[in-house]
Amino acid sequence: MKSTFSILFYIDRSKPSGEGLCLVRCRISCNGRTASFSTRQQTSPDDWLAKKGRVGPTSAVAHGVNHALSDIEQRLNALYERTLREERYITAEYLKEQYLRQDKPRQTFADIYSALCEEKAAHKSKATARGFRDSYKSFVR
């Protein structure tokens, strides 16, 4: 099955910040369906080059923002290729969810275990909580 895919960066002029900066958003189009998300980058509407989907080179923050946008585009393309190869079918919303999941920091096993200890301490007796705490100390060593 043939799949169409494109990435477009645009600025959201409807919600400028107090400094007059607009958020740069990313729109993913895949098989006629779209999904968009914030790139967490900001720029002045005057510096934005809509045809290129990038910040003009005269802006002071142009290099950093353009580098971040290129990185997002590269990661989305790689994710698209990998997902299409492994799963054979892809949607824009699924691609967006997979990309945003990659950005989140992953919990370590120690973090998960300490959360479990806190949960057990709230529900069990002091002896049980002490046992979990002692085993956590030996685990972290």
CA gyration radius, the chain = 22
Q: Would you kindly state where each structural domain of the chain is located, as residue ranges?
A: 5-103, 109-140
Q: Which one of 95-99, 114-118, 128-132 scores highest in mean pLDDT? A: 95-99
* CA–CA distance, 60 with 62 (Å, rounded to integer): 6
Give 29-71 pLDDT, tens digit per residue: 988 899 999 888 888 888 888 888 888 887 777 888 889 999 9
Q: Which of 22-31, 69-78, 108-117 has the lowest mean pLDDT?
A: 108-117
CA distances from 30 to 3, 33, 59, 76, 139 (A): 7, 5, 32, 12, 46
Give 61-95 pLDDT, tens digit per residue: 788 888 999 999 999 999 888 888 888 778 888 88
Q: Which of 44-48, 58-62, 112-116, 130-134 has the lowest mean pLDDT?
A: 130-134
> By C-alpha distance, which of 77, 92, 89, 96 is closest to 33?
92
- Residue 119 CB-density burial (10 A; 0-12 exposed, 13-18 middle, 19+ buried): exposed
pLDDT value at position 87?
Answer: 80
In the predicted model, what is the mean pLDDT of residues 87-115? Answer: 76
pLDDT value at position 136?
Answer: 63
